[in-house]
Homo-oligomer: A and B are copies of this chain.
Amino acid sequence: MQRTLKPPPPRGATLSDVAAAAGVSTMTASRVMNGRGGASEETKARVLAAATTLSYRPNSFARGLKGDRSFTVGIVVPDIGNPFFPEIIKGAELAARARGFTLLTCNVVEDPEREAEVLATLLDRRVDGVIVCSARLEDKRLQEAIEPHRAAVLINRPMSRRIAGTIEIDFRTGLAAATRLLIDRGRRRFAYIGGLATSHSGRMRRAGIIDALTEHGLELALEEATTPNLEGGVDAARRLLERGTGIDTVICYNDLVAIGAMSVIHERGFVIPRDIAVLGCDDILPARLVNPPLSTMHVAKQDLGDAAMRMLIDRIEGRNLQQSITIEPELIERGTT
Contacts and interface: CB of A to CB of B under 8 A. Distances in A.
Interface of A: 1-6, 8-9, 12, 57-62, 64-65, 68-70, 72, 80-81, 83, 85-87, 89-90, 93, 102-107, 109, 120-121, 123-126, 147-151, 230, 259, 285-286, 289-291, 315-319
Contacts of A315: 6
Given A3-B317, A62-B65, 13 more contacts: A4-B318, A5-B316, A6-B150, A6-B317, A8-B150, A12-B148, A57-B123, A57-B124, A59-B126, A80-B86, A89-B107, A103-B105, A285-B286
Contacts of A12: 123, 148
Contacts of A80: 86, 89-90, 93
Top-3 shortest CB links A-B: A291-B291, A61-B64, A6-B318
Contacts of A87: 81
| Complex copy number for this chain | 2
Contacts of A106: 93
Contacts of A3: 317-319
B317 A151 contact: no
Contacts of A1: 319
A5 B318 contact: yes
Contacts of A61: 61-62, 64-65, 70, 126
Contacts of A6: 150-151, 315-318
B285 A230 contact: yes
A34 to B, nearest CB: 14
B124 A60 contact: yes
Contacts of A60: 124-126
A116 to B, nearest CB: 13
A37 to B, nearest CB: 15
25 contacts: A2-B317, A3-B318, A5-B68, A5-B69, A6-B150, A6-B315, A6-B316, A6-B318, A9-B150, A57-B120, A57-B123, A57-B124, A59-B124, A61-B65, A61-B126, A65-B65, A80-B90, A83-B83, A83-B285, A89-B105, A90-B109, A103-B105, A259-B289, A285-B286, A290-B290
A81 B90 contact: yes
A39 to B, nearest CB: 21
Given A80-B86, A87-B81, A124 B290 contact: no
A2 B314 CA distance: 9
A48 B225 CA distance: 42
Contacts of A104: 102, 104-105
